[in-house]
Amino acid sequence: MRSTRHVVLDENGPELGHYSDPPLLVLASLSNGPKHGHAMIEDILGLCGTQLGPGTLYGAIARLEQQGWIEPLPAEDRRRPYRITAEGLRVLRARLATLQQFTKAGAERLEAL
């Protein structure tokens, strides 16, 4: 997966930006059911407070589709929903496990301070 660092500033100030990996966020958003672009943006905003721009979202969608980790469903009007594939779910689990390990190790180091 392409690693992308994307910092979104929020009302708490510039020092508390959200770390964002758009492809991972899209996979996470689709893990509880198919969604179209606008629904993904809203869902990701609720999930972690990151507001993906439309260009960033479709850049991630194009790459994920090319890798076979998501797939398009028939278009509804002009909006096209996407769903995560079995391979996409496997990748998402692996990435989340790595992040969990990283979070745990980081928290332990903080506690040791």
Binding site for another protein (CB under 8 A): 36-38, 41, 53-59, 61-63, 66, 75, 77-80
CB of 37 to another protein, least distance (A): 4
**Residue with smaller CB distance to another protein, 54 or 68:** 54
Provide the minimum distance between the beta carbon of 39 and another protein in the complex, in angstroms, as a whole number. 10
Token pair belonging to 1: 């997966």
User: To the nearest whole angstrom, how small is the minimum distance from the Cβ of residue 105 to another protein?
Assistant: 33
Number of residues written out for the chain: 113
Tokens of 113: 């301070």
Residues 76/85, Cβ–Cβ less than 8 Å:
no
Q: Are strands 13-18 and 82-84 parallel, antiparallel or unpaired?
A: unpaired
